[in-house]
Amino acid sequence: MRAATKPPRVTAIYPGSFDPITNGHLDLIERGCRLFDRLTVAILRNETKQPLFSVEERTEMLREVVGCYPNVEVDSFEGLLVDYASRNGATVLLRGIRAISDYEYELQMALMNRRLRPEIETVFMLASEAHSFISSRLVKEVFGLGGNITGLVPPPVEVRLRQRFGRSQES
Ligand code: PNS
């Protein structure tokens, strides 16, 4: 059943794969943590996907870059997102929308999540113009093919990518 009043403290979950975190994700975290009392960045543990970074590595990178925000924490989850949110007392799911192409998928997920747990609300934030073209998938592809990704990911992530792809600082 829906709560009739606003809870005294609003916890939001920002879920995703974050493989790896980009400056687009970080922008959303920075803006999102001003709206909610607590923001949990939750990494999906998905055995079927073959990620570049393990959940543990992604957690480390995220903690490194969100450490300056006192109301942001990093966690991981498996199973249904709404069940995880409910277990953690969250009433909001935060998602970013970059372009109209994101909308259809996000709409489907939001409606399904609402059907599963109507008391949990999905809140969408628009990506900043400067970040609207960035995705983890493209960052990995461009970097893997020798392209420059400076400014697209936080510096600690660029360091990890260099290590993973065996590239020096200069290249
Ligand atoms: O960053 P992504 O990969 O687009 O994030 C997708 C994510 C993690 C939000 C979505 O796959 C998810 O919520 N998975 C958990 C399983 C679940 O609840 N599935 C039903 C979604 S309606």
Question: Looking at residue 24, what is its pLDDT?
Answer: 97
Find the catalytic residue in 2, 34, 49, 115: 49
101 belongs to the catalytic site: no
Which residue, judged by its Cα, is nearest atom 20 of ligand 1?
80
Distances (CA, A) of 169 to 39, 126, 137, 141, 147: 33, 33, 22, 18, 13
Give the mean model confidence (pLDDT) for residues 22-30. Answer: 98
More confident residue, 132 or 169: 132
Amino acid at 138: L
Mean pLDDT across 8-15? 97
Confidence at 1, pLDDT banded by 50, 70, 90: low
Ligand 1 closest atom vs CA 42? 8
CB 17 within 8 A of CB 46: yes
**For a pocket test of ligand 1, which of 76, 109, 111, 137 has the largest count of ligand atoms closer than 8 A to its C-beta?**
109
- pLDDT, tens digit (0-9, with 9 covering 90-100), for 45-80: 987 889 999 999 999 999 999 999 999 999 999 999
Backbone φ, ψ for residue 86 (5° rounding): -65, -45
| Atom from ligand 1 closest to the CA of residue 112 | 22
Residue nearest to atom 8 of ligand 1 (CA): 16
- pLDDT, tens digit, for every residue of 121-152? 999 999 999 999 999 999 999 999 999 999 99
Position of tokens 């687009």?
24
Q: Give the span between the Cα atoms of 130 and 128, in whole angstroms.
A: 5
Positive or negative, the Cα torsion across 105, 53, 38, 4? positive
Q: Are 78 and 42 in contact (CB under 8 A)?
A: no
CA–CA gap between residue 40 and residue 58 (Å, rounded): 14
Task: Check: CB of residue 53 under 8 Å from CB of residue 21.
Answer: no
